[in-house]
Amino acid sequence: MILAIFLLLAASPGTVALLDETVQVPAAEWRSFDIELRQQPAIIECLYWVNSGGAGVRVALMHQTDLERLRAGLGHHVLAATEYGKSGGFRYGPGPLGDYSLVVDNRLEGRGAAQVHLAVSLEFPGPPPEARELSPQCRLVVILVTAAFMAAIAIFAARRLKDALLGGPDRPVE
């Protein structure tokens, strides 16, 4: 099943729910769900809870190439995963564009099928805020206020230095 149905609608920042349903995972097996990120990088968020059956499941996110290695019984790399349990979740990304797979693993004890509720969503971060410049009038005000402040500090410092060098303001005039 392809979970990326609404990706074309995700051109603006926001969250798109990909999956919010209960799935059946047979005993001692796993099930996978495809996630295609082709348009824009996104944060993949997955929450799950076991409604019935099994001692707990593990949910893992991996690239499609690693899913093929898992199918072949070879070593594979996991991008994000939960521990085996009755509930859990993770957030991954934003990662590079590409094809991902979400794997629900029910191989811990292999006693019975598990009904697992999955809630998977994509969060598209908005673009970074654009740098803005002050208007010419505001720049002039900032420059004048800064210059006046620096002049006041220079005058104050000059008076204090003069008083210190000449013996202070209370020195009698001869």
In angstroms, rounded to a whole number, what is the distance separating the alpha carbons of residues 82 and 80? 7
pTM of the model: 0.64
| pLDDT per residue as tens digits for the range 47-87 | 999 998 877 899 999 999 999 999 998 999 999 999 999 99
Mean pLDDT (the chain) is: 86
- Predicted pLDDT at 103: 95
Which amino acid, one-letter code, is at 89? G
Which amino acid, one-letter code, is at 24? Q
Whether the predicted pLDDT of 134 surpasses 60: yes
- Predicted pLDDT at 55: 76
- Predicted pLDDT at 3: 37
- Predicted pLDDT at 170: 60
Of 121, 125, 131, nearest to 12 by C-alpha is: 125
- CATH fit for domain 7-124, picks 2.60.120.680, 2.60.40.10, 1.20.1300.10, 2.40.50.220: 2.60.120.680
What element of type H or E holds 164?
helix 136-166
Which amino acid, one-letter code, is at 67? L
Whether the predicted pLDDT of 128 surpasses 70: no
| pLDDT per residue as tens digits for the range 137-149 | 999 999 999 999 9
Of 120, 131, 116, 57, nearest to 93 by C-alpha is: 120
